[in-house]
Structure formats: structure tokens, C-alpha cells
Amino acid sequence: VCGAAHARLMWGLDYFGWIRERCARLAARPGGNPVGDPLVRLAEPMHRRFGYDSDEEMFLGQWTVDLMPPGMRLPLDTRSVSLRAVPYQQTSVMPPWLRERPERPRVCLTLGVTGRERFINSGVPLSEVLDMMSGLDVEVVATLNADQLASVGQVPSNVRTVDYVPLNQLLPTCSAIVHHGGAGT
């Protein structure tokens, strides 16, 4: 209505864009989509209330600023601009053990803050994940909180658990990372 540029900022996978493209493909089939476009149906009352038309630009913007690396994005035809995320962790004191060179390859195991609750209900016991790592000739640094550790029982001797350590301090000392693929990790 005012003519201002309209972009979306993605911090994860563009499921909304994927749904839009899927709906458009269904509508283009012979006979169209018998149920219509569910997103238009949901948004139309609000759009009408404010005097807008339900068009693709309203849903997807003129472009998308995407933080995901191109190889990890959903295959979409939307116009996107890549933006490299620069991780930032607040200033903190580096733990003394992190200053020392590891004797064995170091592996970081992190479920991220958002993955902590989800992993508990994933059906994969955290104790099994740690047990699988116990036989490896590596030092594992696992960022696990008290709730997660309560479900583990015995922590293998090659696993160091910490509630939090800044990844910008830990990762330069690691040979590998095992993570949940979250946007913040």
C-alpha cells in the first residue's frame, strides 16, 4: 500500500515458501486444486480488513534474505539473497581445560538450546548416543544441561559434560561436531 520494499528474513528452512510453491503446483494441474489455496483462505480476511490483496508478494515478499547455506536450503524458485551469519557469543571466560591442546581428537556434541527439549522426546535415548561414543578414541565435549544428564546415568570416561561453552571458543579445538542442525548452532 505504501510502496516500501518488502523482504523476508529466514533463520531456518523456508517451509512457508515450500508450501506456497506446492499450492501453486496443485492449482496449475488440470482441474486445479479442489480445496483452493489454504494460505490465501487463512490470510484473506485479515488482508481484506487492511485493504490488501492476497498475492505472492504479500506472502513471500519481493525477495528473501536467507541465512542457510545454499546446499542446505529447500529447492525453491523464490528470489533470495544469501547472507552469511556471523556467530556471536557474549564475552565469557574461557575454561582452563579448553586452553590445553587435546590429547585425542576432540568432538563437540551439542543439541543447541532449542534441541534440548526436542531431543528428550525424540525416541533416541541420550545415554545410547553417549554409549556409542564411548568406544571411540576421541574426547567428547557434550553441552548437556542437568535435565539431559538426569536421563543419562553413567557418563563415559571420554565424555566431558558442560552446560554451556561458547562454540567460538570450543570449535577451533575440535576435529568434528555432532549437532542437530539448528540455526543457532
Q: CATH 3.40.50.2000 occupies which residues in the chain?
A: 96-179
Tens of pLDDT, residue by residue over 56-96, are 888 888 999 998 888 889 999 989 999 887 766 677 788 99
Looking at residue 39, its pLDDT comes to 80
User: Model confidence at 176, in pLDDT bands (50, 70, 90)?
Assistant: very high
- Render the chain in DSSP notation, one character per residue: ------EEEESS--HHHHHHHHHHHHHHSTT--TT--HHHHHHHHHHHHTT----HHHHH-SEEEE-S-GGGS----S-EEE----------PPPHHHHSPPSS-EEEEE-HHHHHHHHHTSSS-HHHHHHHHHTSSSEEEEE--HHHHHTT-SPPTTEEEES---HHHHGGG-SEEEE---TT-
Identify the CATH assignment for 96-179 out of 3.90.79.10, 3.40.50.2000, 3.30.420.40, 3.60.15.10: 3.40.50.2000
Res 157 pLDDT > 90:
yes
Tens of pLDDT, residue by residue over 106-135, are 999 998 766 666 666 666 778 888 999 998
Res 2 pLDDT > 90:
no
Supply the pTM of this predicted model.
0.61
Looking at residue 105, its pLDDT comes to 98
